[in-house]
């Protein structure tokens, strides 16, 4: 699972390392929505030269997580309601299919990854008990990543990877009520039991509930 305090891999290109470091700070709200990012200050914080940081900031503008300021510099883009709705519209069918395929794999005797999936549940409970929101978000993200890995479908995995940071961002900004952890536990039970349609149904419920929680947390929906 992702470690929110871990530095990006030293073997990655500097621009990629800078991008991942800035992304993590956006996700865990060290760089909150609307915050102005100064290239020089970010470079000093990351212990890098300004060139890879400039490359990273430009990439994140292109990806829509940062936006250019009128005169100079960038700031963390504020999520709009449409951003969240569009994300869930794409994520919902993919997450449901990932759970269905993971359960089918278990039913066929390939339960590789089920122990790692269960471990994320314990990590989320431990983080919640310690009131460590960033670690809990990482555990929830890891749960869904484990389900995708268990699906055995590399195209599905690559498609969902493109949503990874947006999902982490939304997970980090919303509340994490206890029933969301209970829903993950139910999904785990159906996947481990090899019940594909029950796994799909529980995932559909979870994603739609997650969407409602996100909209309520971010935009005050009732």
The 10s digit of each residue's pLDDT in 130-181 is 999 889 988 999 999 999 999 999 999 999 998 988 898 898 887 767 899 9
CB 152 within 8 A of CB 105: yes
Residues in Cβ contact with 76 at an 8 Å cutoff, skipping those fewer than 6 apart: 26, 31, 32, 33, 34, 35, 37, 65, 66
Tokens of 58: 């430009």
Euclidean distance between CA atoms 160 and 154, whole angstroms:
10
What is the pLDDT, as a whole number, of residue 150? 97
What is the pLDDT, as a whole number, of residue 16? 93
Length reported for the chain: 222
Task: Transcribe 21-74 into DSSP letters.
Answer: HHHHHHHTTSS-TT-EE-HHHHHHHHT--HHHHHHHHHHHHHTTSEEE-SSS-E
What is the pLDDT, as a whole number, of residue 128? 93
CB 100 within 8 A of CB 199: yes
Euclidean distance between CA atoms 209 and 194, whole angstroms:
23
Q: What is the mean pLDDT of the chain?
A: 91
More confident of the two residues 70 and 21: 21
Claim: this prediction has a pTM higher than 0.95: no
Tokens of 177: 């009520």
Q: Is the pLDDT of residue 10 over 80?
A: no
What is the pLDDT, as a whole number, of residue 64? 87
CB 89 within 8 A of CB 215: no
């Amino acid at each position: 699972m992702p470690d929110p305090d871990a530095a990006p891999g030293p073997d990655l290109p500097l621009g990629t390392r800078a991008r991942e470091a800035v992304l993590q700070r956006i996700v865990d709200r060290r760089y909150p929505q609307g915050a102005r990012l100064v290239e020089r200050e970010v470079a000093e914080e990351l212990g890098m030269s300004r060139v890879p940081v400039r490359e990273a900031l430009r990439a994140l503008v292109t990806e829509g997580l940062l936006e250019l300021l009128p005169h100079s510099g960038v700031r963390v883009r504020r999520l709009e309601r449409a951003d969240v709705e569009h994300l869930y519209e794409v994520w919902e069918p993919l997450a449901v299919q990932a759970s269905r395929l993971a359960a089918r794999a278990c039913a066929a005797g390939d339960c590789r990854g089920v122990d790692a999936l269960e471990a994320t549940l314990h990590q989320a409970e431990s983080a919640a008990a310690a009131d460590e929101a960033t670690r809990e978000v990482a555990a929830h993200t890891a749960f869904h990543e484990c389900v995708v890995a268990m699906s055995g479908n590399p195209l599905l995995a690559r498609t969902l990877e493109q949503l990874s940071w947006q999902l982490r961002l939304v997970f980090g900004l919303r509340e994490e009520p206890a029933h969301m952890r209970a829903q993950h536990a139910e999904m785990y039970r159906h996947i481990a039991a090899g019940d594909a349609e029950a796994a799909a149904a529980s995932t559909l419920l979870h994603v739609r509930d997650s969407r409602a929680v996100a909209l309520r947390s971010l935009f005050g929906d009732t």
